[in-house]
């Protein structure tokens, strides 16, 4: 998978705006200052099993982009 594919995949599940990542499915949010904590979805969210650390995932994708150019 390319960095572009990874970013598209990340963007299907997450929204980033004003330093806050939101789950597109349940609308739960996490501020960047809380990035070290696992993302907490709202009860019953179908994306909860895939949550992990969205900020770290995005950092990894950005790092891959940076080194691919």
Model confidence at 68, pLDDT cuts 50, 70, 90, reads low
- Residue 66 clears pLDDT 60, i.e. is over it: yes
pLDDT score recorded for residue 51: 65
Q: Domain map of the chain by residue range?
A: 3-68
What is the Cα–Cα distance from 54 to 32, expressed in whole angstroms? 10
Distances (CA, A) of 24 to 17, 18, 20, 35, 67: 12, 15, 12, 17, 28
């Amino acid at each position: 998978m390319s960095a572009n594919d990874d970013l598209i995949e990340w963007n299907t599940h997450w929204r980033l705006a004003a330093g806050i990542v939101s789950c597109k499915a349940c609308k739960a949010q996490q501020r960047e200052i809380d990035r070290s904590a696992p993302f907490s979805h709202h009860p019953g969210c179908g994306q909860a099993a895939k949550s992990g650390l969205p900020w770290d995932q995005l950092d990894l994708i950005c790092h891959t982009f940076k080194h691919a150019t």
